[in-house]
């Protein structure tokens, strides 16, 4: 007979909502603890920013998310739905294939209403500590504070299982910049960027070449005097951008000086007003106490995690949903959650602790042998299709249709090739026909 567990899900973003739905469907008793006033996580835009523009102060109040005001998705909406609940276009709403962030939030709210997830969520409730119960090895004590009432009061509750869905786009990762300790001009991380207006007339040096760096550099260039993008990526064509009068590409920063001078490794230099870090984020679980069983190392590897979800020694009572990077998070968190829900109800058995550990070690070994840096531990591509189909196989569901993997790869390639305006050059008719030919119920 299926077992039912009392489960605490931490966070009501995409991962927490996906986990709550699957766990609830499977008959578990679910409580979602969310520190903000509403659901959506990253997609719940807030124009307030941290008091410290680099977010270095551990005591700072993290108020906003890492979205900026003008953000449109960097994936087509077809890749941002759930298997049985696609992110469909609706009349009178944002109809674009790469919609604005408000449309994603609307979708998530509708998803929560459709599956009655809102009633499982305790808003304004921040989890401050999670640790194993002293007397029961398979139980967890979860301590939380309610920001709506007396936030000094810590509530202690015991759960059978804890599912960590706190996201990984909040704790900035900074690049090392030689000479920065004497730098007197402004510095900011993209986590604290909302609009370009404060960069009016400035010379901005922006570090990074990912999707946020791409969008933000273009937007800042509309008001700044100059934008100098610097990257450690090999094979960059150094020099002025073909499409923009005031954007340059450089190799990494060699040194920065007190008077605002920035020297690049390609030999050029500028006097800058701002260093802007679009250098990504770190995993961060300040509330979990596992006595060193789960660690985050300097390369941002969280481990050991079997298939990015279960720490073998604590499985299945502690799990992490949404760890993978550079992927389609909606679908992956949904599939991870299905697997988790089935494991907790005893319908799917995990391998032994030793077997899971050995799987993790083999994975690390394979990365090392093939020259994949440790910082790529949770980057799914190029194995994302294999990973997702593996998860599906655990719950006896058929593999994904071929269009999903192909669309993701085409989108990454297309964005790189078309650069500016790629979102509005996507061939909707072509992809609609591809999906219709493969899916019985094509709704998107």
Mark the segment that binds ligand FAD (CB under 6 A) among 40-48, 193-201, 219-227, 247-255: 40-48
- Determine, following the binding rule CB under 6 A, whether residue 167 of this chain makes contact with ligand FAD: yes
Q: Residue 287 or 317: which CB sits closer to ligand FAD?
A: 287
> What is the number of alpha carbons within 13 Å of residue 176 lying toward its C-beta?
1
CA–CA gap between residue 226 and residue 207 (Å, rounded): 14
Q: Residue 35 or 218: which CB sits closer to ligand FAD?
A: 35
User: Which one of 10, 142, 177, 318 is in contact with ligand FAD (CB under 6 A)?
Assistant: 10
CA–CA gap between residue 291 and residue 313 (Å, rounded): 12
Angle at 250 between CA 247 and CA 252, to 5 degrees: 135
Least separation in angstroms between residue 66's CB and ligand FAD is 4
CA–CA gap between residue 307 and residue 289 (Å, rounded): 21
- Determine, following the binding rule CB under 6 A, whether residue 277 of this chain makes contact with ligand FAD: no
Residues numbered 364-383 forming contacts with ligand FAD, rule: CB under 6 A: none
Mask: binding to ligand FAD, 193-212, rule CB under 6 A, as x and -?
-------------------x
Q: Residue 169 or 306: which CB sits closer to ligand FAD?
A: 169
Size of site (CB under 6 A) for ligand FAD:
33
CB-based contacts of 25-29 (< 8 A; 24+ apart in sequence): 25/341, 26/2, 26/341, 26/342, 26/344, 26/345, 27/2, 27/345, 28/4, 28/161, 28/341, 28/344, 28/345, 29/4, 29/5
Mask: binding to ligand FAD, 68-97, rule CB under 6 A, as x and -?
---x-xxx----x-----------------
User: Which one of 9, 12, 204, 315 is in contact with ligand FAD (CB under 6 A)?
Assistant: 12
Mark the segment that binds ligand FAD (CB under 6 A) among 53-61, 295-303, 324-332, 395-403: 324-332
Least separation in angstroms between residue 41's CB and ligand FAD is 2
Q: Residue 12 or 204: which CB sits closer to ligand FAD?
A: 12
Least separation in angstroms between residue 13's CB and ligand FAD is 2
User: Which one of 52, 102, 126, 410 is in contact with ligand FAD (CB under 6 A)?
Assistant: 126
Q: Is residue 68 helix, strand or coil? A: coil
Residues numbered 211-240 forming contacts with ligand FAD, rule: CB under 6 A: 212
Is residue 112 within 8 Å of 20, Cβ to Cβ?
A: no
Is residue 98 within 8 Å of 423, Cβ to Cβ?
A: yes
Q: What are the backbone angles phi and psi of residue 203, rounded to the nearest 5°?
A: -100, 120
User: Which one of 7, 8, 67, 407 is in contact with ligand FAD (CB under 6 A)?
Assistant: 67
- Determine, following the binding rule CB under 6 A, whether residue 330 of this chain makes contact with ligand FAD: yes
- Determine, following the binding rule CB under 6 A, whether residue 16 of this chain makes contact with ligand FAD: yes
Is residue 17 within 8 Å of 329, Cβ to Cβ?
A: no
- Determine, following the binding rule CB under 6 A, whether residue 285 of this chain makes contact with ligand FAD: no
- Determine, following the binding rule CB under 6 A, whether residue 276 of this chain makes contact with ligand FAD: no
CA–CA gap between residue 325 and residue 339 (Å, rounded): 19
Is residue 214 within 8 Å of 235, Cβ to Cβ?
A: no
CA–CA gap between residue 371 and residue 8 (Å, rounded): 38
User: Which one of 7, 41, 103, 171 is in contact with ligand FAD (CB under 6 A)?
Assistant: 41
Least separation in angstroms between residue 296's CB and ligand FAD is 15
How many of the other CB atoms lie within 10 Å of CB of 401? 14
Least separation in angstroms between residue 322's CB and ligand FAD is 3
User: Which one of 82, 264, 276, 287 is in contact with ligand FAD (CB under 6 A)?
Assistant: 287
Q: What are the backbone angles phi and psi of residue 361, rounded to the nearest 5°?
A: -65, -40
Least separation in angstroms between residue 130's CB and ligand FAD is 9
Structure token digits, residue 95 = 């109809």
- Determine, following the binding rule CB under 6 A, whether residue 109 of this chain makes contact with ligand FAD: no
- Determine, following the binding rule CB under 6 A, whether residue 260 of this chain makes contact with ligand FAD: no
Q: What are the backbone angles phi and psi of residue 226, rounded to the nearest 5°?
A: -140, 145
Least separation in angstroms between residue 269's CB and ligand FAD is 30
CA–CA gap between residue 352 and residue 349 (Å, rounded): 9
Is residue 113 within 8 Å of 94, Cβ to Cβ?
A: no
Least separation in angstroms between residue 256's CB and ligand FAD is 26
- Determine, following the binding rule CB under 6 A, whether residue 309 of this chain makes contact with ligand FAD: no
Nearest to 108, CA basis, from 131, 143, 77, 134: 77
Which residues of the shown chain bind ligand FAD in the complex (CB under 6 A)? 10-16, 33-36, 41-43, 66-67, 71, 73-75, 80, 126-127, 165-167, 169, 212, 287, 322, 328-330
């Amino acid at each position: 007979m299926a077992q039912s567990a009392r489960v605490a899900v931490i966070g009501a973003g995409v991962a927490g909502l996906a986990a709550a739905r699957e766990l609830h469907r499977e008959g578990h008793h679910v409580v979602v603890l969310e520190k903000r006033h509403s659901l959506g996580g990253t997609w719940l835009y807030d124009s307030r920013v941290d008091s410290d523009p680099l977010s270095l102060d551990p005591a700072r109040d993290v108020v906003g998310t890492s979205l900026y005001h003008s953000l449109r998705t960097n994936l087509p909406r077809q890749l941002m739905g759930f298997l049985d609940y696609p992110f469909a276009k609706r009349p009178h709403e944002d109809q674009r294939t790469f919609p604005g962030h408000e449309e994603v939030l609307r979708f998530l709210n509708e998803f929560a209403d459709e599956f009655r997830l809102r009633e499982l969520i305790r808003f304004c409730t921040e989890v401050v500590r999670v640790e194993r119960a002293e007397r029961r090895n398979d139980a967890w004590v979860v301590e939380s504070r309610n920001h709506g009432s007396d936030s000094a009061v810590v509530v202690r509750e015991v759960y059978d299982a804890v599912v960590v869905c706190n996201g990984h786009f909040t704790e900035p990762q900074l690049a090392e910049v030689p000479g920065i300790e004497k730098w007197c001009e402004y510095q900011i991380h993209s986590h604290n960027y909302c609009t370009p207006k404060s960069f009016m007339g400035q010379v901005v040096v922006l570090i990074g070449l990912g999707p946020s760096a791409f969008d933000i550099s273009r937007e800042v260039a509309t008001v700044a005097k100059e934008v100098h993008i610097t990257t450690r990526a090999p094979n960059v064509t150094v020099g002025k951008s073909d499409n923009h009068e005031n954007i340059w590409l450089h190799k990494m920063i060699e040194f920065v000086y007190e008077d605002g001078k920035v020297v690049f490794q390609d030999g050029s230099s500028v006097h800058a007003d701002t260093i802007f870090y679009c250098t990504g984020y770190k995993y961060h679980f300040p509330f979990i106490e596992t006595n060193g069983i789960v660690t985050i190392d300097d390369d941002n590897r969280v481990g050991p995690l079997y298939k990015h979800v279960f720490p073998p020694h604590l499985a299945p009572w502690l799990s992490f949903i949404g760890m993978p990077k550079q992927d389609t998070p909606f679908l992956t968190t949904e599939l991870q959650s299905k697997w988790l829900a089935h494991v907790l109800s005893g319908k799917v058995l995990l391998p032994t602790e030793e077997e899971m550990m050995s799987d993790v070690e083999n994975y690390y070994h394979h990365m090392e042998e093939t020259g994949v840096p440790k910082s790529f531990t949770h980057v799914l591509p190029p194995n994302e299709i294999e990973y997702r189909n593996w998860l599906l196989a655990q719950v006896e569901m058929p593999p994904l249709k071929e269009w999903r993997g192909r669309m993701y790869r085409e989108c990454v390639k297309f964005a790189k090739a078309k650069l500016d305006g790629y979102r509005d050059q996507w061939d909707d008719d072509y992809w609609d026909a591809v999906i219709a030919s493969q899916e019985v119920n094509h709704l998107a």
